Amino acid sequence: MKSIISTNLDKAVELLQACEIVALPTETVYGLAGNALSKDAISKIYVAKNRPQDNPLIVHVSDIEMARKLGLKVHPLAEQLAHEFWPGPLTMVLQKSDDCKLPPEISCGLESVGVRVPNSSVMLEIIKTSNLPLAAPSANLSGVPSPTTAAHVYVDLHDKIPLIIDGGACQIGIESTVVMFENDNHVNNKSENTIIILRPGAVTPEMLSAFGEVVLSDNESPLSPGTRYKHYSPKAKVIAVEGKVTGLGEHIIETPDSQTLFAKLRTLDELGAKTIYIQLPKSDGIGLALRNRIIRAAEFEVLKL
């Protein structure tokens, strides 16, 4: 198989309805989408990405009503956050009700499912036309930097999927913020209004703090399985630097930004870079999410200068 790169959304809908998998652009990163109601499509996603079997997928819907109809319980805080941030780069982990329509394979048997409404006209149109909830992890091979262009997806998956929809470069460039709510999981003694950030993203703690007490889950937290694995790593060795990178080597990223970070890692690999030094930004705003991705790409090796 050789993937076709196209802008033909009807073809994408046709394939998704036949339980095939298709790469689609979102505002964060490209996603590898499949019918979230089909075990078969879910299994194809895991195989194509070589994704660990215990890392759950997130489900993309067109609005909160669609999440409710699938049998997900909408926490009162989720209702408020959806109103403020959807469509947009926020994934909310919601508890399943007894009559949840999503197969257990979607979230590896967990009692919860991550869900988001992407701010991508392409993906929204496809969800609406197909009337399907779409499971979609990032459309990269597991462990490497997420794809922010159709060409990145092609490099990773061209022999594994039939179609890549080209929507240009992603506006945000890093994956969505993932949150869950405290009284859903009784982890410690926080109030009902606690928002736990499992993965930082473009919806920042500052933005969320208007809605409740924000807690950052620590790096090795078992709450979000995906944060346990090696992630975002190019072939080159990445060294995260607390301080100035100027003069440290041939390949440096001085002022990383979300739009270009993953693309730069991929380009430096193509140039044959052996070591990449990346200056860690301050942790305010989206800086927190950038630090998270850089430190993981560096496999937690931080050089303090």
User: How far is C-alpha 110 from the geometric centre of its chain's CA atoms?
Assistant: 18
93 binds ligand TXA (CB under 6 A): yes
Q: Which stretch binds Mg ion (CB under 5 A): 46-54, 128-136, 137-145, 207-215?
A: 137-145
Contact between 97 and 200 (Cβ < 8 Å) = no
Q: Does 55 bind Mg ion (CB under 5 A)?
A: no
Q: Which parts of 97-246 are beta strand (E)? A: 112-116, 134-135, 163-165, 177-181, 194-199, 213-216, 237-242
Closest approach of Cβ 142 to Mg ion, in Å?
8
Tokens of 121: 């006209």
Which residues inside 179-208 make contact with ligand TXA, applying CB under 6 A?
198-199
Distance separating alpha carbons of residues 256 and 132, to the nearest angstrom: 36
User: Which stretch in 5-13, 19-27, 132-140, 270-278 sits in contact with Mg ion by CB under 5 A?
Assistant: 132-140
Q: 176 contacts which partner out of ligand TXA, Mg ion, none, CB within 5 to 8 A by kind?
A: ligand TXA
**Would you call 190 helix, strand, or coil by DSSP?**
coil
Task: Single out the segment in contact with ligand TXA by CB under 6 A; choices: 38-46, 71-79, 135-143, 274-282.
Answer: 135-143
Interface region with ligand TXA, contact rule CB under 6 A, candidates 51-59, 65-73, 76-84, 260-268: 51-59
**113 scored as a contact of ligand TXA (CB under 6 A):** yes
> From residue 166, how far is each of 93, 121, 148, 294 by CA, in Å?
28, 12, 10, 26
82 closest CA partner among 69, 68, 92: 92
By the rule CB under 6 A, 178 interacts with ligand TXA: yes
| Gap between the Cα atoms of 139 and 261, Å rounded | 16
- Residue 182 makes CB contacts below 8 A (sequence gap 6+) with 190, 191, 192, 193, 194, 195, 196, 215
Q: Smaller CB distance to ligand TXA: residue 38 or 138?
A: 138
Tokens describing residue 200? 């930082």
Nearest-5° Cα angle at 132, 56 to 98: 60
Distance between CA atoms of 69 and 66, rounded to whole angstroms?
Answer: 5
Residue 26 near ligand TXA by CB under 6 A: yes
CA dist 24 → 5, 38, 178, 246 (Å)? 10, 18, 20, 37
Q: Is 91 in the site for ligand TXA (CB under 6 A)?
A: yes
Residue 26 binds what, of Mg ion, ligand TXA, none (CB under 5 to 8 Å, by partner type)? ligand TXA
Q: Which residues pair with 93 in a beta bridge?
A: 114
Which of ligand TXA, Mg ion, none interacts with 38 (beta carbon under 5 to 8 A by kind)? none
Contact status: 114 vs ligand TXA (CB under 6 A): yes
- The nearer residue to ligand TXA, 78 or 245, going by C-beta atoms, is 78
Which region among 71-79, 81-89, 134-142, 151-159 touches Mg ion (by CB under 5 A)?
Answer: 134-142
Q: If contact means CB under 5 to 8 A according to the sort of partner, which of Mg ion, ligand TXA, none does residue 225 touch?
A: ligand TXA
| Contact between 138 and Mg ion per CB under 5 A | yes
Where does this chain bind Mg ion (CB under 5 A)?
Answer: 138
Where does this chain bind ligand TXA (CB under 6 A)?
Answer: 26, 28-29, 31, 55-58, 89, 91, 93, 107, 110, 112-114, 118, 136-138, 175-176, 178, 198-199, 223-227
